[in-house]
Amino acid sequence: MMNQFFSKPISKIIIDILLMVGFFVSISFRHSWNNASWGSLHCIASIIWYALMLVHIGQHWQLTKSLTKWKVIRRNVITTLTSIVFILMTFSIVLFIFDIEHKSLLIHHIVGRFFGLIIIIHLIAKAKRFVRLFKHKQKEQKQVI
């Protein structure tokens, strides 16, 4: 039942919009990086954003599973890079959880900047598909009327 909800175009639109907003909110609080605590606005916004990314990955699970095939990787280079950097970001978060030191924060900052760049490229590359979700929703509404 829940899986059906997350696979609908409207839920994909909602998650994608929340991800875009969350991305900009998370990076706008980067000044709190120096305050390496879970109560910082950057950490709170980023935890919510990370949870939304997990939902987004779940919504595209078939593609995610197929990223182990070279043919799919070649056709989805940006998505593959995004997935790899997501794994690196997860690793840097784990480092942050277990060891809040200057070295682990530095790794997190470097990976985070690269991740931000890849996310922006991913957003641009997937913009047409995102717009198509809205067109699909409009067609559904016209058929109901």
Tokens of 22: 């969350």
Structural domain containing residue 66: 2-144
Looking at the chain, the whole-number percentage of residues with pLDDT higher than 70 is 75
| Tally of domains in the chain | 1
DSSP codes of every residue in 10-79? HHHHHHHHHHHHHHHHHHHTGGGGGS-STTSHHHHHHHHHHHHHHHHHHHTHHHHHHTTSHHHHHHTHHH
Cα separations in angstroms, 48 against 42, 87, 126, 140 = 10, 17, 22, 30
What's the whole-number mean pLDDT along residues 95-103?
A: 70
pLDDT digits (tens, 9 = 90+) for 27-83: 776 655 555 566 677 778 888 888 998 998 888 888 888 888 888 888 888 888 888
